[in-house]
Amino acid sequence: MQLGLSVSDSDVSSFTPLVVLELADDTKAEAITWLLNRIRDKQQNGGAELLVNQLLFPAQDDQKPNPNVFVVGSTLQRLLNGAEDVGLFKEFQDGTMRGFTYANRESFKDFNGDGEGFLSDAECQYIIKHELDTLRAKNEEHVPGYPKLKLYPGKSVVRRLQSKGVLIQYFPLHNKEDLKRLSFSWYKKFKLSLQPLDDIRHYFGEGLALYFGFLEYFTFALVPMALIGIPYYLFDWEDYDKYVLFAVFNLVWSTVFLEVWKRCSATLAYGWGTLSRKKAFEEPRAGFHGALGFNPVTGREEPVYPSSKRQLRIYLVSVPFVLLCLYLSFYVMMVYFDMEFWAINIYNENPDIATSILLFVPSIIYAVVIEIMNLLYRFAAEFLTDWENHRLESSFQNHLVLKVLVFNFVNCFASLFYIAFVMQDMVLLRQSLATLLITSQILNQVMEAFLPYWLQRRRNKKVHKRMRRLMGDKELPLLGQVQLETEMNTYLGTFDDYLEQFLLFGYVSLFSCVYPLAAVLVVLNNITEVYSDAFKMCHVFKRPFSEPAMNIGVWQLAFETMSIIAVVTNCALIGLSPQVKAYFPESDTQLILIVVAIEHVLLAFKFILAFVIPDVPKHIQVNLAKLEFDSLEALKKRRRALGR
């Protein structure tokens, strides 16, 4: 059944395709017709009023192509109206960032003529996604052709089709020219300069741009610690006790680091128009289910799931499972120590090159096991969090982050805490920290950079070969591009990227005073991380939809929690130093009390610093207050005009 343009049409699509929508190849014809009509229908009739055409791929020898692949676009007028609907902020003529309104379009800085080029591709794709996500059922009782796929007035059509596997995926298309320019300025030439964050934001959106902004800031913030750490490491390599000064510097650095980032984040978000942007009303997740009920906020019928049932699932199943995983982590840690003592005994009996190398084997094996356990736990945590049936995506993400952070923290750092405060062996602590850090970085680079690159190269060659065999000399760039991008991996968000930086921050802030090269290793890792992540975003993953963001969200709290733990850890390490113990030769109690008192003072200083340093710079606060005042004045004038 042909519902759109055929591949032989000279202009494969009569509009600029922005989004690809792929349905299951066995989708019923009446369901496809109904969905396309709803997408094309006027807004006043409950449609999305978008443009959509079918892409027909030629038959292949080995497999039948999916006939249900469509490209979605929009008229410029519809996109401008949609920009107002989603609350998009753009730069005003006076330099401030204001919510776009079609009525005042001429007052915005880059709006010229009919507005061509005013919205970026990422913004246009975000608007189309919003319109598709808010496409709602009217009076249909079920999806045509699927009697068991129930609908009710107000239900999101796209989310319903997604949850039942009728809609396989929908994703934004890459813009080849823009991608080429971005790739060249971002990673194709090695240069000691800042990343093009505005270009990244323009192409991928604010959420991803903020991650790369944080990655860049974190890397630069580590440079002073790395510069101090190199001579400290070289001159005090055999003296494991002289780490007090470095621990003090570590305390100050971990406190100031996050407070300054808040200001940098606010500056970026203000320049991108997301700092004062109101958060969009959250719709239920695609996988959320429950008995049909009434939402008093929206006035629509939607699934309702009792909070008490969710809490029972969390506390009777999820929490015990997490505790069981933590127990397994501790068990594996004790096995590692048995291996460590075995290697040390062999070295003591016969100290030579082979046995000295053997000393590092237990730590390397343990580091590999840690990465495997983290990966397996991640899948289990996602399954459990999905099973808990959270209504909102934000709630789902918060519970997932909490589960993953707790386990990863214990799994990665428990052995180091045990060595530092139970065994009190600073030599073994330095060796274990170095081995864990280096091994985890090598594994991450292999898994995140080399492996995806190799797999994508193979996939690209297969797709290009297939298209050349089928089409010969005929060049159909859109068909080839869609075929290639449909088979790309889906980018699952910045969760894993922030998690990696969180763990690296932990290695640096918690124990780097006994291994000063930790900061150097993390700086080198992050430099390669910028290039590998940039390449992956441009050529390995499908282009993600733009996600407006005003900060790094729950990860800010995670990093701040780690910095608090770092204060306690470094104070304890200072207390264990022979240099400090020498001042209290006869009274361990007095030493403990003094260390605890210093730790409380430093924590108080940290919170005072957080209070004194404003999260938002003064000039941005003034601009936001001015914008709010202008909005109130405009509202008063409108009311006076209506009163007349």
DSSP secondary structure string for all residues of 330-358 = HHHHHHHHHHHHHHHHHHHHS-SHHHHHH
Is residue 324 in some structural domain? Answer: no
For residues 437 and 353, the answer to whether their CB atoms sit within 8 Å is: no
Assess whether 25 and 66 both reside in one domain. yes
Tell me which of 271-280, 485-494, 617-626 is least confident.
271-280
Cα 66 from Cα 387, distance rounded (Å): 31
Assess whether 203 and 108 both reside in one domain. no
**Collapsed DSSP state (helix, strand, coil) of residue 78:** helix
Is residue 576 in some structural domain? Answer: no
Q: How confident is the model at residue 316 (pLDDT cuts 50, 70, 90)?
A: very high
Q: What is the pTM of this model?
A: 0.87
Q: Which of 84, 103, 112 is nearest to 277 (CA)?
A: 84
Assess whether 460 and 552 both reside in one domain. yes
Q: Which of 68, 259, 75, 94 is nearest to 168 (CA)?
A: 68
Assess whether 207 and 144 both reside in one domain. no
Assess whether 100 and 245 both reside in one domain. no
The percent of residues in the chain predicted with pLDDT above 70, rounded, is 90
Is residue 285 in some structural domain? Answer: no
Query: Judging by beta carbons within 10 Å of its beta carbon (0-12, 13-18, 19+), is residue 225 exposed, middle or buried?
Result: buried
Cα 175 from Cα 181, distance rounded (Å): 10
Is residue 309 in some structural domain? Answer: no
Is residue 185 in some structural domain? Answer: no
| Residue range 386-394: mean pLDDT, rounded | 87
Phi/psi for 167 (5° steps) reads -95, 110
Whether the predicted pLDDT of 361 surpasses 50: yes
Q: What mean pLDDT is reported for the chain?
A: 84
Domain that holds residue 504: 197-280+389-482+492-566
The number of beta carbons lying within 10 Å of the beta carbon of residue 629 is 10
Residue where a domain stops, chosen among 539, 566, 593: 566
Assess whether 415 and 552 both reside in one domain. yes
For residues 574 and 244, the answer to whether their CB atoms sit within 8 Å is: yes
Q: Which of 325, 252, 351, 270 is nearest to 96 (CA)?
A: 270
Assess whether 207 and 126 both reside in one domain. no
Whether the predicted pLDDT of 143 surpasses 80: yes
- Which comes out higher in pLDDT, residue 293 or 332? 332
In sequence order, what are the residues at sequence separation of 6 or more whose Cβ sits closer than 8 angstroms to the Cβ of residue 578? 241
Is residue 293 in some structural domain? Answer: no
Is residue 189 in some structural domain? Answer: no
Assess whether 217 and 165 both reside in one domain. no
Assess whether 273 and 416 both reside in one domain. yes
Assess whether 505 and 454 both reside in one domain. yes
Is residue 273 in some structural domain? Answer: yes
Q: How confident is the model at residue 409 (pLDDT cuts 50, 70, 90)?
A: very high
Assess whether 415 and 270 both reside in one domain. yes
Assess whether 239 and 122 both reside in one domain. no
Whether the predicted pLDDT of 135 surpasses 90: no
Q: How many domains does the chain divide into?
A: 3
| Residue range 257-275: mean pLDDT, rounded | 89
Cα 329 from Cα 570, distance rounded (Å): 24
